[in-house]
Amino acid sequence: MKFFAFYLLTVFLYSLVSRRLERTFFTAPILFTLAGICLFMAFPVQYAQLELNRNGLLLIAEIGLVLTLFTDAAHINLKSLSLIANRNLPIRLLTTGMLLTIVLGAAAAMLVFGQFTWLEAGILAAILAPTDAGLGTVIVNSPLVPARIRQALNIEAGLNDGLSVPFLMCFTVLALHSHEGVTTVLTKFLIEQIGYGSLIGGVIGLAGGYLLGLACHKQWMAKPMQQLGLVALPLLCVLASEASAASMFIAAYVAGFAVQAGFSEAGRHSVEFTETWGQLFDFFVFFLFGLLFARSWQEFAAVHLLYGLLSLTVVRMLPVALALMGSGLSRSTVLFMGWFGPRGLASIVLGLVYLDQHANLPGDSDIRLSVMMTVLLSIFVHGFSALPGIRRYALNIATLDSGAPELQQNEPEKSYSGSGSN
């Protein structure tokens, strides 16, 4: 009871000063993480044995990620990936950039933790691969950053969390069932987790989108209920996935794309939900994270800090630089895009989901602590560096020629906006 009371009190207090805080370094993730840490410090004995399982706090965090995946996919116009005349920056980041991030993240893990197997290294890399648009809200909303760059970072953050899920699940399944043979395990994984998940998401998304679109067209549906009806779809994906051993995350992600076929207003309503009620789930995840981090404080070692620093710098920035080769972007832009790849909500929940699988790998403890250290570093260093980084970047691009790729005119930004809530 104290846990939820303290959380709700924090939500209330934050709401009172939220507008004033928008002009400061203190982002919502920073404040809710600190609130979670304070709760543990106030009641260390009571929360020392806090249980995380599918019947309690973990389920709330999972639902938060499910809703995030659905809403991110629902308002990302797939045509934007090819229509943006910016030399396909989002595609570069989501393909070459993301794959290299996982490969380099796994290599760094094996180097830092010499005892890691390639599966353990892959699991850690996949958990930390997605970026968090919520931590980069200041970036994607700043008029000082060219629209083309904001859109690319926003689309990347809106899609890479869903793309990371299959990698994590694949590595986890191989680790859990290594005795059955790689071919057998992968076949079962592709059919059950990805196949059934995609089928469930496609059916629910297409059918739900068609019915929502029809109801709106016929004016059967009250406007306040449109958002509620839309949000019910990913929750249906959760129930259907649980009954069929499919992945709820893949189902919700696919449903977000599919719903657009029949309900063109899905993107707008998903943004409205993300910016209101959806934030309760996001704040909750950071609040829970702060408590868990404080509880594990004495377990951290220098290797976890080292990996966290590598993950936020070399592991992120080098793949981005390689992915953007030939794009014509200036060095300042490449560095800016490479640095602002924060890790947050998706990494926290994916880490919790992995631990709930009870793989019992030798490296589980180091995976858990490395994810926590990386996310904590990201929450603070990206939060505190956002405003100064924007100002410095604005000064650098001010010297560019008017024909520079960063400054080319783009199509209306609303067609490509991400949720800003990952």
**H/E element holding 339?**
helix 331-339
Q: Which of 356, 349, 420 is nearest to 64 (CA)?
A: 349
Q: How far apart are CA 287 and CA 278, in angstroms?
A: 15
User: CA-to-CA distance for 58 and 28, rounded, in angstroms?
Assistant: 21
Name the residue ranges covered by the structural domains of the chain: 49-400
Task: Categorise residue 245: left if φ over 0, alpha if ψ from -120 to 50, beta otherwise.
Answer: left
Q: Identify the CA nearest to 255 among candidates 11, 66, 381, 19.
A: 66
The domain made up of 49-400 is a member of CATH 1.20.1530.10: yes
- Report the alpha-carbon distance of residue 99 to residue 181 in Å, rounded: 25
Question: How many Å apart are CA 191 and CA 24, to the nearest integer?
Answer: 48
Number of residues that make up the chain? 422
CA atoms within 13 A on the CB side of 353: 28
Q: What is the pLDDT along the chain (422 residues), one digit of tens a residue?
A: 788 899 999 999 999 998 888 778 888 999 999 999 999 999 887 877 777 665 677 888 888 888 888 888 887 766 655 544 445 888 899 999 999 999 999 999 999 999 999 999 999 999 999 998 777 778 878 889 998 898 888 888 888 888 898 899 889 888 877 666 667 767 777 787 788 899 999 999 999 999 999 998 888 888 778 888 888 999 999 999 988 878 899 999 999 999 988 888 777 777 777 667 778 888 999 999 999 999 999 999 999 999 999 999 999 999 999 999 988 899 999 999 999 999 998 999 999 888 888 778 899 999 999 999 999 999 999 999 988 999 999 999 988 887 888 877 554 444 434 444 44
3-class DSSP assignment, residue 87: coil
Rounded Cα distance between 251 and 258, Å, is 10
Please name the residue that has the structure tokens 């490449």. 334
Using an 8 Å Cβ cutoff, are 140 and 150 in contact? Answer: yes
CA 185 from chain center: how many Å? 27
